[in-house]
Amino acid sequence: MHYIAHNSFVSAGWLHVQYIGNSSNLTINPGGLTLPGSESSQSNTTTAEITYGLYLPRTGHHLALQFQLTPPFNFNFEAKQSANSSSQKIGTFRSFPPDFTVVFRPWVDTRIRPYIGVGATYLNTYDTTITDPTYKALGAKLKLSEPVAFIGQVGADVNLWSRLYLNLDFRYVGFADVKSKLSIPGLGETISSTNHWKAALYTMGIGWRF
């Protein structure tokens, strides 16, 4: 506990998730019919967040492990049938992805302390719900795969007073494929796609070094 008390930090603030990915065309089975210009996507969201960090021993506070936790995200699952059509909300799903990164700070005694980091997150999903009235009446169900995604991170801590600081953070999350399958028993069909998942995560918070 002595090490943790003198070598840890925590911040709390707001996180905005901006989805920037794309997907393969929608494929209807049986038959393997591909719809040109079609795709699946998801909505953006903003939520509260807490980041906990622990400096690694014998690194002079230059290296740290960081864990970012949030309440479960609520997303819309959307699709469009052609390049000229607008996105249609098919349903909703929830996600609770813990983010883990290793962070390097080149300067640890200055008022502004920039950093870079790399890490990973688990894109888990649950509580998938069909909300489109037509698909709902046909008994449709949505299934999403749950891959691990890569995180690239840049940010800075700005000292405000004593151990109090302002945290500004940007994370790119990507290099993960989420496979979606919409099963429609009423039509005896499935609609599937592979979503090349990418997101920009913006965080601003207030922190304290212990």
| DSSP state at residue 82 | S
2-209 belongs to which CATH class?
mainly beta
Dist. CA 207–CA 51, nearest whole Å: 9
Tens-of-pLDDT digits for all 210 residues of the chain?
555 667 999 999 999 999 999 999 999 999 999 999 999 999 999 999 999 999 999 999 999 999 999 999 999 999 998 888 888 999 999 999 889 999 999 999 999 999 999 999 999 999 999 999 999 999 999 999 999 999 999 999 999 999 999 999 999 999 999 999 999 999 999 999 999 999 999 999 999 999
In which region does residue 61 sit, left (phi positive, over 0), alpha (psi from -120 to 50) or beta (all else)? left
Whether the bond between 185 and the residue before it is cis, its omega within 30 degrees of 0, is: no
Q: Which residues of 24-55 are buried (b: 16+ CB within 10 A; e: fewer)?
A: bbbbbeeeeeebeebbbbbeebeeebbbebbb
Which phi and psi angles does 202 have, rounded to 5°? -115, 130
Domain map of the chain by residue range? 2-209
| DSSP state at residue 133 | H
- Going 148 to 149 to 154 to 156, the CA torsion angle's sign is negative
- Tell me what pLDDT residue 143 has: 97
- Tell me what pLDDT residue 176 has: 97
Burial of 204: CB neighbours in 10 Å, binned 0-12, 13-18, 19+:
middle
Return the structure tokens found at 97.
């992805």
Q: Quote the pTM value.
A: 0.92
The residues pairing with 147 across neighbouring beta strands, listed in sequence order, are none
Asked whether the beta carbons of 195 and 41 are under 8 A apart, the reply is yes
